[in-house]
Amino acid sequence: MEVLTKHYAGLETSDSVSHNIDKLGSADTFTVTTGHQLNLFTGPLYFIYKIVSTINLAKKLKEAYPEYHFVPVYWMATEDHDFDEINYFKVDGKKFHWNSNQTGAVGDFVLDKSFQEFLSDISFAPPVFLDAYRSSKTLSEAVRKYVNSLFGSEGLVVVDGNDAVFKREFGSVLLSDAFDNIPFKKATETTEALAKLGYNSQIYPREINLFYLDKGLRERIERTKEGFGVVNTKIRFTEEELRERIKNNPEQFSPNVVLRPLYQETILPNLAYLGGPSEVVYWLQLKGVFDHFKVPSPVLLPRNFALIINPTIRRKMEQLDWGPEDLFRDFDAWKNAFVHAEASMDIDLDKQKEIISTVFEAKGKEAKYLEESLEFAFEAGKSRALKILDQMSRKLRKAEERRQHVQLERALAVQEFCQPNGVPQERVVNVMQFCLANPGLITEMLDCFDPLDFRMMVLENGT
The average pLDDT across 100-111 equals 96
Give residue 16's identity as a one-letter amino acid code.
S
Under 8 Å CB-to-CB from 152, ≥6 apart: which residues? 13, 14, 16, 17
Segment 220-266, tens digit of pLDDT: 999 998 899 999 999 999 999 999 999 999 999 999 999 999 999 99
Mean pLDDT over all residues of the chain? 94
**Domain locations in the chain?**
2-170+256-307, 310-421
DSSP β-bridge partners for residue 212: 219, 253
Under 8 Å CB-to-CB from 66, ≥6 apart: which residues? none
Segment 335-386, tens digit of pLDDT: 999 998 888 888 888 899 999 999 998 888 888 888 888 889 999 999 999 9
pLDDT at position 201: 85
Segment 66-82, tens digit of pLDDT: 999 999 999 999 999 99
In this predicted structure, the answer to whether residue 1 has a pLDDT above a threshold of 70 is: no
Yes or no: domain 2-170+256-307 corresponds to CATH 3.40.50: yes
Residue 399 CB-half CA count within 13 A:
12
* DSSP for residue 104: S
**H helix intervals, 249-371:** 260-267, 277-284, 287-292, 311-320, 331-342, 350-368
pLDDT at position 463: 55
In this predicted structure, the answer to whether residue 304 has a pLDDT above a threshold of 60 is: yes
Segment 163-197, tens digit of pLDDT: 999 999 999 999 999 999 999 999 999 989 988 88
Segment 123-139, tens digit of pLDDT: 999 999 999 999 999 99
The Cα 77–Cα 211 span in angstroms is 14
377 backbone dihedrals φ, ψ, rounded to 5°:
-65, -40
Under 8 Å CB-to-CB from 285, ≥6 apart: which residues? 187, 190, 191, 194, 201, 202, 203, 205
The average pLDDT across 309-314 equals 95
